[in-house]
């Protein structure tokens, strides 16, 4: 197929960016979206132009490194990661607009690459169970009902891609933060610290400049791992019970 690409180009964080239009041909339906961009980049390199920079690594939909806002949707038209999007989802003659994630807490690094280290700092603020290596009980001494384990698992599958933030008009990180809080709050291992954890992670989220929840569910609708909105409700519960209990002290 032949396509027209409108791609956001920006040399560095301080320079002003803008769209550039490229024509590309000979794209097969079996290619992944990123392989299509590989073809574009080989063309550009051959012509001596700087290739389009974008993040990616596993190309299997699991590392969360790829991003891209495609035709107004994070990760494009399907509820999957960009690396798992295939060109059979487009048709000959299409124009495709490709932008980076847009959020104050995700500053642009170059072209389509953004800085998501704010997510790491949120996890550092409390997204863990405080255990050291060694000296822990036998794994089967902590039985966990399968339904609870499965629910925790559903939340744990978040890949930290940031599509939820990109999808939200307030650029809120609630879905990402709530997924981690839920995963740990549901498990006996994580229960002990659940209030403190919620408090610290929410505080860090605010500090990073993420917006407030719009309650529209755009995040969950675009999340490639189908993280549920119910996690946000659980997080709010944990958070409010945390603030109540500290007031009581």
Closest separation between CB of residue 58 and ligand FES, Å?
4
Q: Are 223 and 159 in contact (CB under 8 A)?
A: no
Which residues contact residue 14 at a Cβ distance below 8 angstroms, ignoring those fewer than 6 apart? Answer: none
Q: Does 205 bind ligand SF4 (CB under 6 A)?
A: no
Q: How many CB atoms within 10 Å of residue 56?
A: 20
For residue 175, the SS3 value is helix
Contact residue for ligand SF4 among 27, 68, 223, 242 (CB under 6 A): 223
Stretch that binds ligand FES, among 64-72, 91-99, 165-173, 207-215 (CB under 6 A): 64-72
Nearer to other proteins, 19 or 153 (CB): 153
Of the candidates 52, 55, 56, the residue with the CA atom closest to the CA atom of residue 17: 52
Residues in 81-100 that interact with ligand FES by CB under 6 A: 81, 83
Closest separation between CB of residue 74 and other proteins, Å?
17
Q: Considering CB distances under 5 to 8 angstroms, the limit depending on partner class, which of other proteins, ligand SF4, ligand FES, none binds residue 66?
A: ligand FES
User: Residue 5 has what DSSP assignment?
Assistant: E
Q: Are 179 and 156 in contact (CB under 8 A)?
A: yes
Q: Contact residues for ligand FES (CB under 6 A)?
A: 56-59, 61-66, 81, 83
């Amino acid at each position: 197929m032949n396509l027209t690409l409108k791609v956001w180009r920006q040399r560095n964080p301080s320079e002003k960016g803008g769209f550039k239009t490229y024509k590309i041909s000979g794209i097969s339906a079996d290619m992944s979206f990123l392989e299509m961009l590989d073809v574009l980049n080989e063309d550009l390199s051959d012509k001596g132009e700087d290739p389009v920079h974008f993040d990616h690594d596993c190309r299997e939909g699991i590392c969360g490194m790829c991003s891209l806002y495609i035709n107004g949707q994070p990760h494009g038209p399907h509820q999957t990661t960009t690396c798992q999007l295939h060109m059979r989802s487009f048709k000959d003659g299409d124009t495709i607009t490709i932008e980076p994630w847009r959020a104050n807490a995700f500053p642009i690094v170059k072209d389509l690459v953004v800085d998501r280290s704010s997510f790491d700092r949120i996890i550092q603020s409390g997204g863990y169970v405080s255990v050291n290596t060694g000296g822990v009980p036998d794994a089967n001494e902590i039985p966990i009902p399968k339904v609870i384990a499965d629910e925790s698992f559903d939340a744990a599958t978040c890949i930290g891609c940031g599509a939820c933030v990109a999808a939200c008009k307030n650029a809120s990180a609630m879905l990402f933060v709530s997924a981690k809080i839920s995963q740990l709050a549901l498990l006996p291992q994580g229960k002990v610290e659940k209030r403190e954890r919620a408090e610290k992670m929410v505080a860090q989220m605010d500090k990073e400049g993420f917006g407030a929840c719009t309650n529209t569910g755009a995040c969950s609708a675009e999340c490639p791992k189908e993280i549920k909105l119910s996690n946000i409700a659980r997080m709010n519960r944990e958070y409010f019970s945390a603030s109540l209990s500290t007031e009581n002290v």
